[in-house]
Chain A
């Protein structure tokens, strides 16, 4: 692509580029690229450099305010090994991963369905669009409290509806049992975040020109085949971004769980972020808290890398 770029310059126009070494079109291109990407990099680096450094440094040192004697001394990996001995981290990790997998799967499936539905023109589409995206307007904290009320066993709406429709589980004390508590948390999370998936996937669907579907129909493809062979591959970039960021948010989930169950019953809904919170706020141990944070980031990056690897490969085939 770069080799014959000079052909783009029509004859008669003065050459815009000198062809001295270091000033070819490629390096000009690169300079432009650097200049354009610099603002984002500078903003992100300037603000997050210190927090990143702070947490990483803390995780390798003793930073327990309740133990001034060892404060600031080098700790090697002992904060990290505490993660595996403390008997809270691994269960919380398993729970968080499990919840992330389920919530992302559910929200992606439903979000994709909504996006596909909203992609076709129909009467009243504007109203439906607005209605479906309303949950995004409600702050997370408010929505969590709201759903907690909805799941109240006596006066909550969920049991009320279940009883009226004569469905089972109508007298469950939702937040009292492990699996039912997770179901409640999932409902609250999905309500708030499915519109996010829908919005991103809808934008992704907009790239796809409609006439390829016409061509596919003429060729006799069914709707399912058209979806798998045409829509999905073309949607992949948007899908990948949506998946990465939704997974990230799910992995970091905190408010919803804290408000609805406080980690209960017992510790059965305790998520990783809650451990982080406890380390900072109750234990005053910033070394351990830093280690938890770094561990969470590393895991999140691994998950993101997996997505990129798998989905890029999919795209190429």
Chain B
């Protein structure tokens, strides 16, 4: 029979193998990092890419800002790389560019919990050489952009989590946790149209960690080495009790994210709701001269949760420059424009993103959007989540499952905290 395989089949096999090797080789040798190309000077004609959410009101505000910047710097064009408006998906998208060693995008937005991880991975540029003026921002947010003593990201806009209360139901705001509970219970008992007493985010995602922090959890960087502390236990206990003991929150909150809390609030079914500033703008929105959400229109107020030391979890977005970018000067100029008072105010009015620059809270802003004045109480107690490269890891593998198991009654708060304390300490140790 045939000892030798037919030439053509050998050829086919060889072709296939060669094709495979070429593909591997192409990609492998191209992914070897390109040599540090020289930086394009600020005055040169160039295009920079900005990665951010590109659709909706945020997109409109971004495009307006780009137009304003291009007017000031006619030699620079900014192209918008449209990322998803969902933060997790956007992070994935940005990570693809980083892993590929791409020099674009030049400027990108980051959620406040990403910069230290990105910085440690060498993906975003050290901004110290540009001498950023760190004092113009809220200190709590400025911290989120720092790593190893240097600045790696600049705050873009802020977000804070606080308790909304409906002033037509709650005449005097509660000043203690116990008072809030009794107010909620009283409201539920007297007004049958109310479905919840307190709406909050309890689904297993990052929002439950910010909720936990807003309810009083002490998870600052220094406290991470011992999460089994009274403040944490108290906050977890409150969240559990709200559902199972005081019965002011429905069991369904263990699946709720911001959108669900928003729905509960805007429909007027709850006197208290924990959420971010965007809800204020939404509550006050009108169409054709009539309020869109009459249940909460002009009866919305916002305050930090009245725990023994009130705090408000910090959210928001920062701006960073790609470490491999060859247009760093132009990128920095763009960031400076975005953090100028006029651009900050414009974005706050159009897209409802609260400015990160303290000076932007001025008369212009208040006359166009008066509700910002009512938000200051919450901003005074801004508390960031721990600024460490392993925070995303700690959050997803420890905090989120822990909160979820406590809320569903699988574990008691103290047991949960003590059993997880060691893991957190170990994880922290990996980045010493």
Contacts and interface: CB of A to CB of B under 8 A. Distances in A.
B243 to A, nearest CB: 9
A282 B392 contact: yes
Contact of B121 (A49, A148, A175, A284): A284
A67 B404 CA distance: 30
Interface string A177-204: 1000000000000000000000000000
B16 A266 contact: no
A282 B400 contact: no
Nearest to A88: B397
Given A30-B6, A264-B254, A66 B204 contact: no
B36 interface: no
B122 A153 contact: no
Interface string A269-293: 0100000001011111010000000
B2 interface: yes
Interface stretch (B21-29, B74-82, B228-236, B372-380): B21-29
B12 A38 contact: yes
Contact of A46 (B23, B88, B404): B23
Given A50-B27, A50-B28, A176-B251, A264 B405 contact: yes
The interface centre, meaning the residue of B91, B205, B254 with most chain A CB atoms within 10 A of its CB, is B254
Interface in B376-430: 389-390, 392-393, 395-397, 400-402, 404-405, 407-411, 430
Q: Chain A interface: which size bin? A: 35 or more
Q: Chain B interface: which size bin? A: 35 or more
Contacts of B203: 262, 264
Contacts of B290: none
Interface in A35-76: 35, 38, 41-42, 45-47, 49-50, 53, 65-68
B255 interface: yes
B113 to A, nearest CB: 10
A278 B195 contact: no
A284 B204 contact: no
A30 to B, nearest CB: 6
Nearest to B121: A65
Contact of B390 (A47, A66, A148): A66
A152 B252 contact: yes
B117 A284 contact: yes
Interface in A81-107: 88
A266 B19 contact: no
Contacts of A153: 250-252
B393 A282 contact: yes
B19 A45 contact: yes
Nearest to A35: B12
B16 A265 contact: no
B9 interface: yes
B401 to A, nearest CB: 5
Interface in A254-272: 260-268, 270
Contacts of A266: 401-402, 404-405, 408, 410-411
A148 B8 contact: no
B23 A50 contact: yes
A265 B7 CA distance: 60
B138 to A, nearest CB: 26
Contacts of B99: 286
B424 to A, nearest CB: 14
A35 B88 CA distance: 44
B2 A21 contact: yes
A10 interface: no
Nearest to A51: B27
Given A45-B16, A176-B408, A281-B91, A264 B401 contact: yes
A306 interface: no
B31 to A, nearest CB: 9
Nearest to B395: A282
A154 interface: yes
A282 B252 contact: no
Contacts of B71: none
Interface in B53-104: 88, 91-92, 95, 99
Interface in B198-231: 203-205
A154 B255 contact: no
A42 B15 contact: yes
Contacts of B123: 65
A261 B408 contact: no
The 3 closest A-B CB pairs, nearest first, are: A266-B405, A262-B204, A265-B408
10 contacts: A31-B8, A31-B9, A38-B16, A42-B15, A49-B19, A49-B23, A88-B397, A263-B401, A278-B397, A283-B393
Interface of A: 21-22, 24, 26-27, 30-31, 34-35, 38, 41-42, 45-47, 49-50, 53, 65-68, 88, 148, 152-155, 173, 175-177, 260-268, 270, 278, 280-284, 286
Interface of B: 2, 4, 6-9, 12-13, 15-16, 19-21, 23-24, 27-28, 88, 91-92, 95, 99, 117, 120-123, 195, 203-205, 250-252, 254-255, 389-390, 392-393, 395-397, 400-402, 404-405, 407-411, 430-431
Given A68-B121, A263-B404, A265-B410, 4 more contacts: A38-B16, A42-B15, A176-B409, A282-B393
